[in-house]
Chain A
Amino acid sequence: MKQFDYVRPATVTEAVAAAAQPGAVFLAAGTNLLDLMKGGVSRPDRLVDVTHLDGLDRIETLADGSLRIGALVRNADLAHDAEFARSYPAVAEALLSGASAQLRNAATVGGNLLQRTRCAYFYDTASRCNKREPGSGCDARDGENRGHAVLGWSESCIATHPSDFCVPLVALDAVVEIEGRGGRREIALDELHRLPGEAPERETVLEPGDLIVAVRLPTAARGFAAHARYLKVRERTSYAFAVVSAAAALRIENGKVAQARLALGGVAAKPWRARAAEDVLRGVAPTADAFQEAARRALEGAKPSGDNAFKIELARRIVVRALTLAAAGTPARIPALPASPFASTSGAIHA
Chain B
Amino acid sequence: MPELTLTSAPAHIRHGSNIGQPLTRRDGILKVTGQATYAADNHPPGMLFAVMATSSIARGRVVSLDVAAAKRHPRVVDVMTPDHKPQLAIDPELKTNPFVFRMEVLQSNEVRYANQPIAVVIAETQEAATEGAALLAPRYETLPPLVGLDAGESYMPPVVGVGNPTENHLGDVEAGLAAADKQIDAIYETPPQYHNAMEPHAIVAHWDGDRLQIDMPTQGLMLSLARVAELFGIAHKKIHIRSPFLGGGFGSKGFLAGPQTLGIMAAKLVGRPVKLVLRREQMYGPVGHRAPTRQRLRIGTDGEGRLTALDHHARTVSSTFDDFYEPAADASHTLYAAPAIRTSHDAVRVNTGTPLFMRAPGEATGSIALESAIDEMAWACGLDPLAFRLKNYAEVEPMTGRPFSSKALRACYEQGAARFGWAKRPLQPRQMRDDAGLLVGWGMGTATFPALMFQAEARAAIRRDGSGVMEIGAHDMGQGAWTALAQIAADSVGLDIDRLDFKSGTSDLPDAGIAGGSAHTATAGAAIHSAGAAVIGKLADLATSDERSPLFGAGNAGVIAREGRLIRRDDESRSESYAEILARAGVAEIEARGTGAANPAAMEQYAMHAHGAVFAEVKVDPELGQIRVTRMVGAFAAGRIVNPRMVQSQLFGGMIWGLSFALHEAAITDQRTGRIMNANLGEYHIPVNADVPPLDVITVEEHDPHVNALGIKGVGEIGITGSAGAVANAVWHATGVRVRKFPIRIEELLTQG
Contact = CB atoms under 8 A, between A and B. Distances in A.
Main secondary structure of the interface of A (DSSP, over half): loop
Contact of B621 (A38, A310, A341, A349): A341
Interface string A88-126: 000000000000000000000000000000101100111
B624 A238 contact: no
A254 interface: no
A121 B677 contact: yes
Interface in B685-706: 685, 687-691
B747 A1 contact: no
Contact of A124 (B623, B624, B677, B690): B677
A342 B691 contact: no
A236 B683 contact: no
Given A124-B677, A237-B628, A239-B688, A144 B747 contact: no
A278 to B, nearest CB: 21
Interface stretch (B15-23, B320-328, B367-375, B434-442): B434-442
Given A2-B134, A121-B677, A238-B688, A144 B668 contact: yes
Interface string B609-651: 0000000000101011110101000000000000000000000
A236 B688 CA distance: 7
A238 B670 CA distance: 26
Interface residues of B, number: 49
Given A124-B677, A349-B433, A314 B628 contact: no
Contact of B624 (A3, A125, A341): A341
A63 interface: no
A236 B222 CA distance: 39
A314 B434 contact: no
Nearest to A318: B624
Contacts of B433: 349-350
B627 to A, nearest CB: 9
A192 interface: no
Contacts of B438: 341-342
Contacts of B431: 351
A46 interface: no
A119 B279 CA distance: 20
A120 B284 CA distance: 15
A346 B436 contact: yes
Contact of A120 (B57, B678, B685, B687): B678
B389 interface: no
Contacts of B675: 124, 126-127
A233 interface: yes
Contact of A310 (B670, B671, B691, B746): B746
Interface in A183-209: none
A337 B625 CA distance: 17
Interface in A1-24: 1-3
B677 A317 contact: no
Given A40-B134, A349-B440, A350-B432, A236 B687 contact: yes
B691 A238 contact: yes
A236 to B, nearest CB: 5
Contacts of B56: 124-126
Interface string A305-339: 00000100110011011000000000000000100
Contacts of A317: 623-624, 750, 753
A320 B747 CA distance: 17
A315 B473 CA distance: 56
A124 B626 CA distance: 28
A238 B689 CA distance: 8
A294 to B, nearest CB: 15
B434 A235 contact: no
Contacts of A321: 623-624
A143 interface: yes
A1 B688 contact: no
A237 B619 CA distance: 12
B672 interface: yes
B688 A348 contact: no
A235 B666 CA distance: 12
A143 B670 contact: yes
B177 to A, nearest CB: 35
B672 A143 contact: yes
A139 to B, nearest CB: 8
Interface in B417-463: 424, 426, 431-436, 438, 440
A243 B685 CA distance: 13
B506 interface: no
B185 interface: no
Interface string B406-426: 000000000000000000101
A237 B625 contact: no
B626 A234 contact: yes
Contacts of A342: 438, 619, 621, 626, 628
B121 to A, nearest CB: 13
Contacts of A241: 682
A183 B451 CA distance: 74
Contact of B750 (A1, A121, A314, A346): A314
A108 to B, nearest CB: 20
Contact of A237 (B73, B668, B677, B691): B691
A246 B753 CA distance: 19
A342 B628 CA distance: 8
Contacts of A53: none
A146 interface: yes
B747 A348 contact: no
Contacts of A3: 73-74, 131
B523 interface: no
Contacts of B685: 235-236, 240
A306 to B, nearest CB: 12
A349 B432 contact: yes
Nearest to A40: B134
A67 B519 CA distance: 62
A240 B746 CA distance: 14
A339 to B, nearest CB: 11
B176 to A, nearest CB: 36
A44 B672 CA distance: 30
Nearest to B281: A39
B465 interface: no
B66 to A, nearest CB: 14
Contacts of B678: 120
Given A1-B130, A314-B746, A321-B624, A238 B690 contact: yes
Contact of B625 (A139, A238, A314, A347): A314
A73 B628 CA distance: 33
Nearest to A119: B677
Contacts of B664: 235-236
Interface of A: 1-3, 38, 40, 118, 120-121, 124-127, 139, 142-144, 146, 233-241, 243, 310, 313-314, 317-318, 320-321, 337, 340-342, 344-351
Minimum-distance CB pairs A-B, first 7: A346-B435, A126-B56, A310-B747, A238-B690, A120-B677, A237-B690, A341-B621
Given A3-B73, A121-B677, A317-B624, 13 more contacts: A2-B134, A38-B130, A127-B670, A317-B750, A337-B690, A340-B626, A346-B435, A346-B436, A347-B434, A349-B432, A349-B434, A349-B440, A351-B424
20 contacts: A1-B130, A3-B73, A121-B677, A142-B672, A143-B677, A144-B670, A234-B626, A235-B685, A237-B690, A238-B690, A243-B746, A314-B624, A317-B624, A317-B750, A317-B753, A318-B624, A342-B628, A344-B435, A349-B432, A351-B426
